[in-house]
Structures are given as C-alpha cells and as structure tokens.
Chain A
Amino acid sequence: MRWVVELVVSSFILVLVLALYSYSTPGSLAVQAGERGRFAELSLFAVRLASSPDFLFRLLRDWDGAVAQANVEARSIDPLASVEVLPPVGGVCPSPAAPRFSISLATVLPNGTAVCVVAWA
C-alpha cells in the first residue's frame, strides 16, 4: 500500500513541476510581445485619430456618427478595438478597464472643448 502512496505523491510532484514549467516558460512572452505590438499599433491609431481634423470637425457636426466611423476604422487595425470620446473627469482623461489594454489621449475640438479619445481592446 505504501508504494501506491509514494507513486501518487511522486506523480503529483511531477505534475506540479510540469505545470510550473509551463507557467514560467517564455511561451507567454511571445503572447506578451504580440500584445505589445498590437498596443503600439492601437496607440498610433489613437494618436492619429486625436489629431485628425476630419475626425474633430465631424465630432462637432455629428458626434455619434463620428464615433461610429472611428470604430469602423479602428477595427481595420484590430478587430476587437473600440473607440470612445469622453469628457475629461477632474481634468484627467479616464482610462476604462479593458481586457487587454487601453489608451486615453486628450485633444481639443475646433470649438475649444477638451475631450479624451479613448481606444481599447
């Protein structure tokens, strides 16, 4: 009976070691690096959007339409990307909780109103 217990304990330790290896292996590094790349692309998109006269003028004319169009175009960068334009809260741009990453940039509309362009995925 004792050898059965030893076998079970040894197997458990072996499985634990395997799991620890899998967890610490740099496989996740590749994913992280990939995410960093997607984040760089989405950040660049947010910067371009916040400085696009077409977007800022359209926001003045048709807020919902401009945001909807920004979402259409953001999805050509990342299919899971979303864009929102929000007012600053206490002088600070809000950063929504996002499953992967988010970026919030302050910009000024042609009428002088400060807004935050928020992109997340």
Chain B
Amino acid sequence: MLIAFGLVATFMLGVYVLSYYFADTSKQTEAMAASKLDAQEVLKKIIQSPGDPPDWTDINQVNSLGLADPALPGLLDPKKVMALAVAGGVKSGVSCKINAAGQDYPVTKVGYGIYIWGVPEPRSVDPSVYERILRNLFGDDWNKHDVELSIRPALNIDLQLSGSQVFIEVDPGGVYSYDVCYIYWGADTPVASEPRGLIIRGAYVWSETQGINVRFNVRVDLENTGSDATIQSVQVGSYTFTPKPNEQSIGSGCKASIERRNVDSTDPCLGGCSASVTFRNSSGVFTVSAPVVKSPPAQFPTGCSGGRPVADGPISPAMVCTSGVTGADGRGGVSVPGSALFAYAYVRGVMLRGVNYTYWGVGDVSLVGLVAHPQRGVYVVHSKLVQNAGQGASLCGCEDGGVSALGLRYLGLFLGGQSVPLLENVRINPGINFDLGEVCDSSGRERGGCLVPWGMVGRAKFLIAAIERNSQGQPPKCGEIPQRDVVVMPLAGGLPPLYEVHFATWRRWAGDRPEALAVSHASAVVDAGEITYVVDLWVFRYP
C-alpha cells in the first residue's frame, strides 16, 4: 500500500515538475513560432512598402523602413538599396587633392582612377533611426526585437576580358540569355597589338540533342586584317577539317564564319581546348589559334568593309552590343573584333536576372582621374593634377615624387549602354590652368581638366574614359602606368549595388550578432532595376 502510494505521489510530483518545465519550453517555442511568422510579415512589409518618407535616400531620414519603389509597385527602389549599402558601411579611400587655378581642393580616391569631391565623413546611423524603424514594425515591444537584413544579387555573374574575348560565367549554372556591350580598340587602331592577317574572333563548340542522341557543332569566326588570305585547314579541339572551296578565300577587310554541324557524338573539346586556322597570304603561310568557348555562338556580322582604313593618328575605340545564350553550365563567350577594354553584361534566366561589368588593366595610377562632384557633375582631370594630399607633387596613390606629366594622345568619353561616344578628341594638358567651370567638349581645345555636367550624363550607368598615352611621354616612376587605359565610373542612380548589402538594427547596442530568445528567418526574391535580389531577413526576439 505504501509503495503504491509512494509511486502515485512520485508520479504526480513528476507530472507537476514536468508541466512547469514544458510550460517554459512551450513559451520559448511559441515565441519562436510567433517570431517565424513575424519574419514573414516584417519582410513582406519592408519589400512591399516604400517606407516613410516614400522617397527616402538617406537612412537618417527614415521613419519607417520600406524598400519598394513608389513609382513601380512590386519592385525595389535601387536608390534605397544603395542608401542602405551606404549605411552598412563604405570602405575608406585615399585622401588626395586637385589643383585648380592655383588652389588645392581635397578629393578622395575610391577606386582605380575614380574620386569623389571632398573628404566624406564616415556615414553613421543616428541611433534614433533604429528606434523609429523597430517601433514601426513591432509597436511598443520594439525594444524586445531587432531585425537584420541581407540583400544579395540572386545571380553571381563573372565577366573576364581575355584579349579579343569576353567570357561570361553565371552561378547557378543554367541556360541564360545575355546582352553584352563592350568597348574595344579595333584592329585598325594604332594601339592594336595584333599582327596583320587572319584573326580568330571566336571559336565555339556546343551540343544539340536530337532525340536521345547528342551531336556537337563547331564554329570559327574570322576577320582578315591583312591581305587576301586562303584558308588551308581548321582545327577545333580534336576535330580537323578543310574548308569548302567557297569558304577558303577571305578578302582583305572581310569577316567570315565557318560552321560544321553534327560533327561527332563525342565532345571534340573535352576539358579546355583551342582552335587553330592555317592560312596563306602574300607574306607566307601562318597558323593562328584562340581558346574555344563551349557555348552556342554569339552573333558575328560577316561581310567586307571595303578595305581597312589606314592607321594614322588617333582613332577612337568603339562600343558594340551583342546578344547570345550561355551553355547549360552557365558559361558563354563573345568575340571582340579587337582588344577589349570594358564589358557590361545583362543576363536573364526565366525569372532571375542580373548585371555585371569589368574593365581591362587595373594598376595604381591611371592616366586621368574622374572626380564626381555631387552638384556639378564629373570632372575629367589629368592625373598630374590629382596629387597626394601631403607635400610634394607626386600622383595620387604614388609616393614617388617628381613624376613628369604624361602626354595624352586620345581621350574619349562614353556612357555605359550607348554605342555612340559622348565626347571624342577631348584634350587635357596639365600645363594649362584647370578652370572648374569649363565644360568638356570635342573641340580639341586644351585645358587642365574639364567638367561633364550631370545633365549630360542623364541616367547612364557608367561614365567611361578611354585614354591612349602619347608614346613620347616620359616613363613614369610609379610602377606600371599603362600605355592605354580605361577608367570606369559607376554612376549613382544607374545601377543598384552588385554586392551583398547588410543592415542590422542590433548595431544600436551590439557589435556582433546577439544571442536572442528566438531568431527567425524569412527570404524573398525581388527585382530592383535590372537585378534580381535575394532578400533575407532575421528577426531577433528577446525575453
């Protein structure tokens, strides 16, 4: 009897204690579940509302956090994403100065050849902003919550320039359409390093499925920059063939494509491989080769230009846009009729899209500086006039004093996305006084620097300066300053950030991600301009 009583008492006591234990854990899991729903609701609110004020561009103005574009419902506002990126932190630059009309003005170097006017203070977020944002999301319980927001491009697009090729690689792999715009020095320009003759502008291997069979196709795009040529043989990976009689002759200044379909059921290009073409012209027999791109070919206009122009004096680089499709592995390539300087790619899947850009040659000191002034526009300044902030006349970012001024043979300005140059034959000379009010033009008049007003730039994504150094310029002391150069300035309002943006309200009181009673997560896919972002949100709930 006593044993039974003892057992029952122990059992009841156990149930009593356990009920307390479970009540406690239940409370935690309930909080976790509620906070999971909070994350969904909060994320929905942030990406679907424009916030308050609806057109905010400075985080310190914000009463209610919302990233939607008030003019385009359902899309994020690129300016707000950029403002959030700025609040998340901007890397510090090098302090320099430019000299105009005998006076020094401070500028800050933020990238290769690009500067911003003045010395910006690090943008700090007013602590009251966090309170306003949290109060708007959680009401009176605002102090028991924090949110962390991460915004990253859904597609990771890698662009590489390799001589006369632009390579694209998209992650995650898949079949994507792409538009690529590139700036290049053509084969006819004095800076072209290629010898005259037949040049492989693109070599491709791609597969097609016919029923259950996979067949491989090959194509080689050619341009003849020399005298009339006769092709003797073509090799693409392990596949070699002799062109048909109507394919063998390529006249001077002509472009042609040689394609073979269903060449084999096995890949002629297992692993990396190259294509080579053997041809004969008035100078002898030559073999040229180029890497093979394993994707369907991009567009290549064929035909003859009626003879190439004589290379004499400065000839401008050209901007061309083309389209294509990547292979199933997300890789694609575009052949450039010359030496590629800059490429911009817009990539689309069935729902995700993204952009990226790259440019050739990055050193320490550029031939010119592009200085963004918030009110006026972008100054194009000879590098000799952009100097270290300290004593001495060294170039900005270079400690080697007494560098001679470099003569410039060509300076042209382009806007990203437009195939016509904005200005050509811009002449800048550091020996002439730099007047801050002088607007750039194509008149060829020399000056120390000039201004491209914001009105001239419009909503372009980039301002691109293509420069060729005068071969008579003295060799610089600051490492390798290129003979020809390209400086690319991404323009505010053109592109949203191409990198991951972080914003966290727990920064109001913690340096690192805090411990919380419950942390919940939600994510969504949203477009901002030409980029699809994955937006992740974490809600932290404290006791």
Contacts and interface: CB of A to CB of B under 8 A. Distances in A.
A45 B22 contact: no
A52 B10 CA distance: 65
A39 to B, nearest CB: 10
Q: Identify which of B15, B18, B33 gathers the most chain A CB atoms within 10 Å of its CB.
A: B33
A7 interface: yes
Interface of A: 2-3, 6-7, 10, 13-14, 17-18, 21, 25-27, 29-30, 32-34, 36-37, 40-41, 44-45, 48-49, 52, 54-55, 58, 65-66, 68-70, 72-73, 75-77
Nearest to A40: B40
28 contacts: A3-B3, A3-B4, A6-B3, A10-B10, A10-B11, A17-B15, A18-B18, A21-B18, A25-B25, A26-B26, A27-B25, A27-B29, A30-B32, A30-B33, A33-B520, A37-B36, A37-B39, A41-B524, A45-B525, A52-B350, A54-B348, A54-B349, A66-B350, A69-B174, A70-B350, A72-B349, A73-B349, A76-B352
Given A36-B36, A37-B37, 7 more contacts: A6-B4, A26-B33, A29-B29, A41-B522, A54-B348, A58-B350, A77-B525
B172 interface: yes
A17 B351 contact: no
Q: Is the interface of A mostly helix, strand, loop or mixed?
A: helix
* Minimum-distance CB pairs A-B, first 4: A55-B350, A33-B36, A72-B174, A29-B33
A54 to B, nearest CB: 5
Contacts of A17: 15, 18
Contacts of B173: 72
B11 A13 contact: yes
B33 A55 contact: no
Q: How large is the interface on B (under 10, 10 to 19, 20 to 34, 35 or more residues)?
A: 35 or more
A73 B7 contact: no
A48 B533 CA distance: 14
Contacts of B523: 41, 77
Contacts of A6: 3-4, 7
Contacts of A18: 18
A33 B34 CA distance: 8
Interface of B: 3-4, 7-8, 10-11, 14-15, 18, 22, 25-26, 29-30, 32-34, 36-37, 39-40, 154, 172-177, 328, 348-352, 520, 522-525, 534
A29 B7 CA distance: 34
Contacts of A34: 36, 520
Contacts of A14: 11, 14-15
Given A25-B25, A26-B29, A52-B350, A72 B172 contact: yes
